[in-house]
Structure 1
Amino acid sequence: MEACLNEELPPTTELEEGLRNGVYLAKLGNFFSPKVVSVKKIYDREQTRYKATGLHFRHTDNVIQWLNAMAEIGLPKIFYPETTDIYDRKNMPRCIYCIHALSLYLFKLGLAPQIQDLYGKVDFTEEEISNMRLELEKYGIQMPAFSKIGGILANELSVDEAALHAAVIAINEAIDHQVPADTLMAMKNPNAMLINLDDQLESTYQDTLYRAKQDKMENAKNRIASENSERERDVYEELLTQAEIQGNINKVNTHAAISKIGLALEQGDALALYEALATPALGLRGLLRENCDWYFKQFLSDRQQKQEAGLTGLLQKEELQLGVDAANRAAQQYQQRLAAVAKINSAIRMGDAEKTVAEMMNPEAQLPEVYVFAAALYQRELSTLQQQSHEGNLTHPELSVAVEMLSSVALINRALDSGDVNTVWKQLSSPVTGLTNIEDENSQRYIDDLIKLKSQTRTEGNEFITWNDIQSCVDRVNLAVHEEHERILAIGLINEALDEGDTKKTLQALQIPAAKLEGVAPKVAQHYQDTLLRAKREKAQDTQDETAVLWLDEIQDGIHRANKDTEESQRFSLGILAINEAVDHGDVGHTLSALRSPDVGLYGVTPECAETYQRELAEVKRRKMATGGNGSEWVKLWVRGGYHYYHNLRTKEGGWDEPDGFVQNDTQLSREEIQSTISGVTAAYNREQLWLANENLITKLQACCRGYLVRQEFNSRMNFLKKQVPAITCIQSQWRGYKQRKAYQIRLDYLRAHKDQVVKIQSMTRMYQARRRYRDRLQYFRDHINDVIKIQAFIRANKAREDYKTLINAENPPMAVVRKFVHLLDQSDQDFQEELELMKLREEVVTLIRSNQQLENDLNLMDIKIGLLVKNKITLQDVVSHSKKLTKKNKEQLSDMMMLNKQRGGLKALSKEKREKLEAYQHLFYLLQTNPTYLAKLIFQMPQNKSTKFMDSVIFTLYNYASNQREEYLLLRLFQTALQEEIKSKVDQIHEIVTGNPTVIKMVVSFNRGARGQNALRQILAPVVKEIIDDKSLNIKTDPVDIYKSWVNQMESQTGEASKLPYDVTPEQALNHEEVRTRLDASIRNMRTVTDKFLSAIVSSVDKIPYGMRFIAKVLKDSLYEKFPDAGEDELLKFCAFPF
């Protein structure tokens, strides 16, 4: 089934349960009969519902589908199980039997491999065999004869059975002779009912059938050797059946046909390939001669894929069927595609957009995704393409490309409408859209331009932008980006010219058309150079980047600024000239007006000082003219920004370039001289007005002076204190220490006064810290659960390896190790006999238990009916009819038991009060078992001389001497509660555990000295004790007198004469002899050696000590630690180990 389904089935022990839902059976039916059982008809195919809620009645549909599939291929109905046999698990062996028969039948038809005979190859545990036997006995089912399936299949054929069996036996004899021609002749016998025989494969038939028969004979010998020799055997246990022969013939024919297919593929012959595929042995479904070319292409592709995957060999039967189906689908899809394309072209000619989209969305057209909202776009563009085509029709490749591009355009339109820029760019950059010259760095520019274009198109009344519109937009953006690139190159040339300091080259760079700079004047070239170079240096300084360059807007700003500076400098020069002329004319009003001109930019000009300005400026100019003028026409002025502007006094024009033969006119007043004169005059005037108007400020000044003197004195005091810092620090530290000690003492007194509250707070804090550490540790384990599982798996695997090494290498491995690997050991005939005997004894015990239980039930019922008879509740005939059901022996036992009940009465007496009392006692004993507090307190109320008897007669009986895990667990809980109660209430000193003879300790010791404790003690110490007993030379006497007497007796035995030494001596006299001391030392050493052996055996066998003893020791240690927290670890362990 795994080979057919290509999936793993549940383990052997869980397979029958897994078959109940019928999913695996329905999938098997789909494998050999897909027409009857399709995948869609299988209910709960992934078994999700079955795993969640269990079986559902609809799972029976899967079983029925499987039965229908078997009926369709013609499997005899004698093998069919009922639906309830599988669903209700009433007869699962019949289902397995049917699967075996189906395997052989499918093998005969060449549809599936045969189930192998696994007799002697698979081992089942005793528990699995016992569970299966109980399941068969539960429903009264007999195991069917699996080995006779072949014979039954042959008998089901509607032919002469004797002739058929004779022909099959003749074929088996011919196979044994190993003559291929004779074997083929025997198989051609019409009575053998064999088909599809090929004379060219007779040698292959002979080899295959001979190997199959040898395997079957070997399995039959193994079965005969292990089963009862008197069992009636079937002739087909060793001979090949008709179905097996036909199955092997089909297997050989299938292999030969597959070889022919491989040869046809190598030769490239499609017709030969079809002839090979049509071979009846392959049984391929759906072959069509007109699709032979499609088959050839498909199988070539499948073989190439198989080779690329690293798989060698020819295509198998399942792969061939898949290839045929795939080729048929491809051919059908091709024809459907042609018809769909014709419908699409017709719809396009009709001009119906909705019909065009509907035809394109037809799955048979196999076109890319089509969007209904863009129907008008598809119709318009496809109609244009159809008109441009030569034949007037669009082919499928043309439609695919066009639809793919138009769908992308539709998505772009929808994304533009919704503002989804990510989708817009995704579609623009997609190769499917087919746009050219798409640059990633221009994505945002494309999107912005498309949004504008979309808005403009909508305004014009068009719903969609076309592919051509999008391509034009892309080209337009690319052109703009190209121009910007050229502009960037021009900017680079400008920056290079600035760095070189060549004014003419800078002017040429600024006049490059690609730069598109405005306002460039050749006569201001020098100032352009200076202004732009300064701006570039400032940018480099601000950005801390020496390679910083000026961009277009910065260069344009520099040009505008330079032009503005030129205009301002010209007005400034004219203003200075006007001041000089006004001073020369001596007109005060004109001079004041020239001084207040904003073009000159003088500050501090006061109208009240106009005459003084005129007088002082005329005096300055007179002194300059007194030295004699040079008569130059040029004046160099220092203007804003630190530049020099050259102005001609005659033409009243100026520039930034220094004139040839420049000489500064020395009679003209400069701005600095004019500003200095004005500032001096204005300052004198303001000072005079200040003294008059600010007498109160003078008073404040004096106050500030006095404050300065006070602060000076304060600073001197501070300097003194700083020099005395060590002494001040010492005083302050002494004072702060006193205050801190006083506060500490007050706090300490407060804590001592509230000692109980402090202890409680500390305990709560420690508890919180411990809980937090525990939770953190627990969370750590949860966070690393996978690592914990890996570590545990590694430890378990390591333990298993160590146990296996112990089993292999140790001479006498422990029982625990042997138990783990007992399933790996070979089983002898004696083991089988012992297992059979053990099984028989188990069956007898189970039978007796059931008989006793039934007898007890009948006895109770009889007792009740007799009581009712006495009370006239039922008739005598009912009692007699019940009594007849009992055997004579049971009647005697019942009569004896009834007599005892009549004599004793008791809780089972037939009365309401006794019954209620019996139920009350049952509840009482259950409560006493599950709640150990009552018995734990009762134990301490018993006298010491009666406690042991009370334990044996009541408590151990109540817990059934811990005969199973439940009673043992409840008894240990009782011991735990009683021990904790006794330590809490009766133990005041830790040594009282030893000297006080505690009751619970005696109970525990008494309980563990039973058979369970003795077995553990024997397993732990038996080897050491046996070794010591067997060592006859071992001497561990430590009494000096005994050693002395042994020595004297030894000397008398050796010499044959009476010793002169006295026989009765004291220990001190015996130790006076050197030989006695030597032997005593040797005995002490032997005693230590023996003690070490016992200690090592106990320590190394901790796991073998009964769990109850270890648990009580743990409870004893925890209880003592809780009662005596100051006791040391060694002391606690000493007292914990003493009672045991």
Structure 2
Amino acid sequence: MESTLPTRKLLLTKVVSLKKIYDREQTRYKATGLHFRHTDNVIQWLNAMDEIGLPKIFYPETTDIYDRKNMPRCIYCIHALSLYLFKLGLAPQIQDLYGKVDFTEEEINNMKTELEKYGIQMPAFSKIGGILANELSVDEAALHAAVIAINEAIDRRIPADTFAALKNPNAMLVNLEESLASTYQDVLYQAKQDKMTNAKNRTENSDRERDVYEELLTQAEIQGNINKVNTFSALASIDLALEQGTAPALFKALQSPALGLRGLQQQNSDWYLKQLLSDRQQKRERGQADPLQKEEVQSSVDAANSAAQQYQRRLAAVAAINAAIQKGVAEKTVLELMNPEAQLPQVYPFAADLYQKELATLQQQSPEHSLTHPELSVAVEMLSSVALINRALESGDMSTVWKQLSSSVTGLTNVEEENCQRYLDELMKLKAQAHAENNEFITWNDIQACVDHVNLVVQEEHERILAIGLINEALDEGDAQKTLRALQIPAAKLEGVLAQVAQHYQDTLIRAKREKAQETQDESAVLWLDEIQGGIWQSNKDTQEAEKFALGIFAINEAVESGDVGRTLSALRSPDVGLYGVIPECGETYQSDLAEAKKKKLAAGDNNSKWVKHWVKGGYYYYHNLETQEGGWDEPPDFVQNSQELSREEIQSSISGVTAAYNREQLWLANEGLITKLQACCRGYLVRQEFRSRMNFLKKQVPAITCIQSQWRGYKQKKAYQDRLAYLRSHKDEVVKIQSLARMHQARKRYRDRLQYFRDHINDIIKIQAFIRANKARDDYKTLISADDPPMIVVRKFVHLLDQSDQDFQEELDLMKMREEVITLIRSNQQLENDLNLMDIKIGLLVKNKITLQDVVSHSKKLTKKNKEQLSDMMMINKQKGGLKALSKEKREKLEAYQHLFYLLQTNPTYLAKLIFQMPQNKSTKFMDSVIFTLYNYASNQREEYLLLRLFKTALQEEIKSKVDQIQEIVTGNPTVIKMVVSFNRGARGQNALRQMLAPVVKEIMDDKSLNIKTDPVDIYKSWVNQMESQTGEASKLPYDVTPEQALAHEEVKTRLDNSIRNMRTVTDKFLSAIVSSVDKIPYGMRFIAKVLKDSLHEKFPDAGEDELLKFCAFLQ
């Protein structure tokens, strides 16, 4: 059969589509055997042979192949088809295997038996040529003479003579080419030698009719070899044309009649060349160096035609797209873009305006005002990505936006992954701005500009960070000029940097850096941009204030020297100097005092220095030049403090002294009355001091005083008690009478209250009494019916029930009547069931016989004697087939026997319980699933659940009794019955019960997002470190990878671990409470098996404790 594969492929590709072949990979056939749909393939094969022109005398019937009733005829047809196709030059001929294959005696006998069974005779394969010749209506004498002449010329091995013989018209040979005469000679000679060798290998049989063509080539074989040589020659010409790379030469080679290629079009020559070169290259890459075969060339031609056709359609579609773009109708443009013939990427109709706008711009920019297909492909692909970005921005799908931004399809440049969030935020702002401007979409240029802008901003920030690093390094070095140069770096973008304030910048910023290090407790802390800018502004402000301060001090000195009181007072009250306590009333005093201080300085001597050093706010020194009225923070060279100028401290000291003296004088005058009161308070203080002295003495004597007071009070109480006791003794009879009356009153009151309580609850008391009496009667009745020797008092209560009444007799009669009716109905139902079964059998037989009769009537004219015998044999086989529901008495009796067997297995669990232990351990689970649960219908109703539980009980008791030697083997020994029970309990019924019990608790825990039950110290430690870093925004100094002991060294970790343990206990208590409170919801079968397991274990291991037994019972869940 393998040799027919090329022929089969040829037929199918011409007539039958590969998609119409059922089970082409034979997966269905290998899995389940033949299916009726396989006959579709037989029909397709017959249609293909009819299309190719094979005479119908060779055709097999469908049943010959599907039912394998006449396989020799099928093989005969295949050989005939091979020879016919070989003659037409469409396929190689099946070689004669005579003498090349040896069959054993057993194989020959088996085949003989099969052929005799169907009465089939093997056809004469050697006569196929003659049959084909007859069908083709050729003059046999002339044909055979010409063929014999050709064979003789082949033997002479002269190519010219052979070619002359081949050209004989009587030989009916076609497609002869004189240039291939020598090749014809070689191929035909070799074919004849092979045929003669095969003929000599045959066993000689004198009785067999010899055929002259057993050693001579037939006309079909000669034509087939000629066609083969022509095909090889044409393929070689094609290969030569491919090597030369010329399309006209290739097209001429493709037109060779020997190839018979379909669909050749001269305008597609270049496409043929390109496709064939590609296919040949692929074949060589697969390690196949031989030229392309005929089928491969035909496939390449078809592919090239299809590609050329698609190209033409694509050109038309591109022209339509350009025309639609020029018209400016967005919907029409999108419709043309979505045309499948345009072969463009996916287009989204919702972005029609975007496509129209952008493509129109590109079209105008094109020199020819027309877009080519590659340009359209790139543009549409990018615009589709832009459309998806717009839609994702509108819906807020940031993941899709980033996916499209980073995709190479979008064509964006300089997209950095670390700037992802910045891109998204900027695009969202850009989208909002576009909506505000009534623009529905942002364009590709907008997106690229946004990306470039974000990259520029990020680059500036990066350069700014580097500049900040340089500034901090300069501050650490302490060089003011280097700090100034760092501050003036353009990337830092700092404002207000002045060269003359460089030293103060250094001092201010280094102080700010130290303060930040102290606050954060991080010696490596650095100043950021806003802190540096704030320091610069603060330094500039300090410079301005210091300059005003120096000028103010200079003005005060000038005013003091001039002797003008008003000028001096005005200079002192200047806010730039910041003097406090200046009072206008003391102006003259200030003038005189300051002038006196200045005289003292003049008396000490003048150093003629022009520089003055001022201590200003913040602890800095400001140097002021008295001549130029300018100053700075840098100490001048050879600096000497001027000895004549009054400093702020000296001026403030003078002002404070004068103001204090003036205030003191005014205070005494204004508070004379208060002084009097102060004296009175002083005298009162002296009196109170004397009183407190007396009180202190008394407090020291408190123990003695307390003792005296207690003695006196005790004496008084004892005297009063003795007097009262004497009084009672003198009136003893009256006291006893009063006590008895009081006790009688109390007892009477309690009795009346109790009696009134019973009267108020008389209905409740009656119910309680009735309940108690009913329980008593019920217990007595249970004792009567269950106890072997009930007490006499119980029997006496129910003796009256033994008396028979008329009602008892009537009930007995009714019971007998109902029993008779039930028996009658049961017999009637059984009879109806038997009748129904009988009717089913008759209906089945009737239908079957009817179909058989119809078949006989419809085919009676076509049946021969042999076919009738085959039909009777087939009907006999069908009678022998059938399952338990077959229409025969034996099958029905067997079905009833199986029903009785399964009923016995269900109701008596002993058999299955023992059978379970006889199964191999590795097959018990499969046995359980396929037999046990199916037999009991998976306990779908109460009866079957009861019977299944009885089986589990019996099997479990048997297994524990015979196989469990130690109680731990319930868990470690993997017992078979326990596995069955666990599998049964874990079904839908057990899952529903578990869901009802635990679903609320599980949902509550899942909804509690704040619940933390981590118990790993390392995880808790890492979570704590991450939380601190997210809160502070800085990397933690603590190590990230630690051991559990190191993690527990931190108090925070211990605290969180304790909280997690408490949360775990709380959650565990909730689950335990839910399970304990829902015991009634646990399926009865589960509890029953647990009870059986506990009782069996207790019986087998009486020394085991209650807790241990319950622990192993829990293994069932």
TM-score, normalised to structure 1, is 0.49
Question: TM-score, structure 2 length as denominator?
Answer: 0.50
